[in-house]
Amino acid sequence: MSAEHRKKWVKLFIYIGLVAGTFAAYEPTFHNGFTYYDDDAYITENSHIIQGVTPDSIIWAFTQPHAYMWHPLTTLSHMLDCQLFGLNAAWHHLVSLLIHIVNALLVFWIFTNLTGAIWPGAVIAAVFALHPVQVESVAWAAERKTVLSGLFWFLTISVYIWYTRRPCIGRYILLFLVFGLCIMTKPVVVTLPFALLLLDYWPLERVKWNSSIKPSTSIAESPQKISAVLLIAEKTPLFLLSAILAATTFLFQKSGDVVISLEKLPLNLRIANVFISYIKYIGKIIWPSKLAAIYPYSRLTLSDPVVIVCDILLILITILSIYIGRRRKYILVGWLWFVGTLVPMIGLIQAGLQPMANRYMYISILGLLIIIVFAVKELVADKTSRKIFVTVSAAGLLFSLGILTNMQVKHWQSSLTLFEYTIKVTENNTIAENNFGSALFRLGRYNEAVAHLTNAIRIWPLHFKARNNLGKTFLKQGKLNDAIVCFDEIIKQNPKYAEAYLNLATIYAQQGKYDLVFSNCAKAEKLKLNKVEELNNLAWTLATIGNLPSEGNEKAIEYAQRACELTAYKNMHVLDTLAAAYAASGKFNDAIMTAEKALSLAKTAGQKDTAREMQSRLELYRTNRPYREK
């Protein structure tokens, strides 16, 4: 067997190993459900998504933001999942896992083609596939955008490698088109043209530093060398696409009020967080422990000792990388890849409350892996004893990473397991406390929910969602006065919080104070009504309380229809509410048809208890009687 033939077999076994190992590590993801941490906004309660792929949904995907971002390919992928699998979470997770596996295979292909080194490429690809820091991107359904953007990121690099072998306009157009698809997956890909420039420096060696260096005449052997100015000019169309995407994303997020102002989060704190986050990211990659779904903001300033130490470390590493990188180019390229690809998410322009996130390292991790793997390759060189030691160590490392990833995936089973774990591994985490309290609320564990929601408010008194959730919990407990205090406090702090008005209307409906019901409904209607849960709760209360003026019955239908529109008429509970609202208004034919659809969905979902309750209400409607809460 020739050496070339052996290489092909080795590569084949590596590909098979990457697929099998990644599947084994992520096997628990097939037992995970959706979480109430963006999965609802992205998938389960987004009417445009759950209706599947239709002409209207395609137009919406390309013309409207999806969760304050423009990423139509990601949006379409969610729609296609719903078209094929409905809301069966296992299939959604499988698609994300398959994309991640393809990404790992592409990483191996890219590094073997760029460097000619099979085993270093295999190790980089395997760590990329199995490192537990990647779990958030793969096991979180709403993070489809991360793995999908990774797919088109690596496809763009693959086409770029092909282009550099024989540059021509046809190949460049293909490169431009693939990158055009890439920017439709996630805004963070804006740094890809910069990454291509790094690859020009090493390992493509396309940069001509001296005029005496002539372009390679053997195109098949290596790319042509051209000046740095021309290399930058070559990327200009790609940089223009990146600039358009960056501006579009900023405008969408600004209009959605998710960009944090400098008044709320001063520049001093943001710069301090930059230095802290970079060092923490390195730490998470080297020692992946306490990986949380959301990290609390430290709010340290530039004068804090921890920040100063991080400043010095980051500056020293950068200086060393530049100095050593003159002779060992992979070190400079790896470091700049790590630092540069994290820039869009590093928090100088803050969208949301997260100071850092594991998913941000999906592409950036490759920078540190380049440094570590190729430094080890150089260290062992031709020394057999060192090679044996490194081989055994690498095998042990990959096995350990696979085990850790398998364990980390299990934390994403549900909102309850995810945020219970997050609270354990972080401190003063107001978002995790709120989300855990919400999960407990949905399970009917109200006393426990109150404790965690109260803690969330203690940590951050202006956490409106936590206070709103606390009020809803009091409402379920029958503590109406305590609930009113919560909602009044929200309105005092934020008069544009529509859900608070709807929840107050629900309480006043139970108390028979119909003038206050309608006044709060009127205030809510002036704001954006897009919360399915609050709309459904209010509609249910108005429809089932009895002795309500006709105006109240019409409001019940209006709110239930709005909730149905937001869920594309595919949510059994919301349809059940609409049926009750129709019955309360004497529209029994509409009530029967709607209740039958809700009942069918409940039976399909295997929810027998819910189906029995819906069947009993349906029998009432068939005898022209509305349903009343006891």
Q: What is the pLDDT of residue 53?
A: 93
Per-residue model confidence as pLDDT tens digits over 383-405: 888 889 999 999 999 999 999 99
CB 538, CB 506: distance < 8 Å:
yes
Q: 1.25.40.10, 2.60.40.420, 3.20.20.70, 1.10.10.10: which CATH number matches 527-630? A: 1.25.40.10
Residue 614: both structure tokens together: 């819906």
The residues, ordered by sequence, that sit 6+ positions from 28 with a Cβ below 8 Å of its Cβ are 406, 409, 410, 413
Best CA proximity match to 552, nearest among 526, 579, 516: 516
Q: What is the pLDDT of residue 215?
A: 42
Per-residue model confidence as pLDDT tens digits over 567-605: 888 889 999 999 999 999 999 999 999 999 999 988 887
Q: What is the pLDDT of residue 630?
A: 62
Q: What is the pLDDT of residue 210?
A: 64
Q: What is the pLDDT of residue 224?
A: 77
Confidence of residue 255 (pLDDT cuts 50, 70, 90): low
H/E stretch holding 349 reads: none
pLDDT (average), residues 403-412: 98
Confidence of residue 64 (pLDDT cuts 50, 70, 90): confident
CB 213, CB 226: distance < 8 Å:
no
Per DSSP, what are the bridge partners of residue 259?
351
pLDDT (average), residues 105-128: 97
CA atoms within 13 A on the CB side of 373: 23
The residues, ordered by sequence, that sit 6+ positions from 57 with a Cβ below 8 Å of its Cβ are 48, 49, 51, 79
The residues, ordered by sequence, that sit 6+ positions from 122 with a Cβ below 8 Å of its Cβ are 14, 18, 108, 112
Helix (H, G, I), strand (E, B) or coil at 259: strand
Helix (H, G, I), strand (E, B) or coil at 66: strand
Q: Percent of the chain beyond pLDDT 90?
A: 73
Q: Comparing 65 with 365, which gets the higher pLDDT?
A: 365
Per-residue model confidence as pLDDT tens digits over 417-444: 999 999 999 999 999 999 999 999 999 9
pLDDT (average), residues 261-268: 82
Q: Percent of the chain beyond pLDDT 70?
A: 97
Check whether 534 has a pLDDT greater than 90. no
Q: What is the pLDDT of residue 557?
A: 95
pTM over 0.85: yes
H/E stretch holding 559 reads: helix 550-566
Cα separation of the two ends of the chain: 81
Per DSSP, what are the bridge partners of residue 351?
259
Calpha distance 53→78 (Å, rounded): 9
CB 155, CB 182: distance < 8 Å:
yes
Helix (H, G, I), strand (E, B) or coil at 289: coil
Average pLDDT value over all residues in the chain: 92
The region that residue 435 occupies, defined by phi over 0 for left and psi between -120 and 50 for alpha, beta otherwise, is alpha
| Spacing of C-alpha 149 from chain mean position | 11
Question: Helix H segments across 288-360?
Answer: 305-325, 329-341
One DSSP character per residue, 119-157 reads: HHHHHHHHHHHH-GGGHHHHH-GGGHHHHHHHHHHHHHH
Check whether 415 has a pLDDT greater than 70. yes
Calpha distance 346→337 (Å, rounded): 14
CA angle 283/288/289 to nearest 5° reads 105
Confidence of residue 218 (pLDDT cuts 50, 70, 90): very low
Q: How far is CA 195 from CA 139, 150, 199, 202, 231, in A?
A: 26, 13, 6, 11, 12
Q: How far is CA 563 from CA 132, 443, 550, 597, 598, in A?
A: 38, 22, 20, 15, 14
How much of the chain is in helix, strand and coil states, percent to nearest 5? 75, 0, 25
Q: Comparing 264 with 71, which gets the higher pLDDT?
A: 71
CB 34, CB 141: distance < 8 Å:
yes
Per-residue model confidence as pLDDT tens digits over 140-190: 999 999 999 999 999 999 999 999 999 999 999 999 999 999 999 999 999
Q: Comparing 451 with 546, which gets the higher pLDDT?
A: 451
Per-residue model confidence as pLDDT tens digits over 310-359: 999 999 999 999 999 999 999 999 999 999 999 999 888 777 778 999 99
Check whether 202 has a pLDDT greater than 60. yes
Q: What is the pLDDT of residue 360?
A: 96
Sign of torsion over alpha carbons 327, 328, 330, 331: negative
Domain ranges of the chain: 3-413, 527-630
Calpha distance 119→141 (Å, rounded): 32
Calpha distance 451→18 (Å, rounded): 45
Calpha distance 244→246 (Å, rounded): 6
Calpha distance 66→46 (Å, rounded): 9
Per-residue model confidence as pLDDT tens digits over 20-53: 999 999 999 999 999 999 998 899 878 789 889 9
Per-residue model confidence as pLDDT tens digits over 502-511: 899 889 988 9
Check whether 219 has a pLDDT greater than 50. no
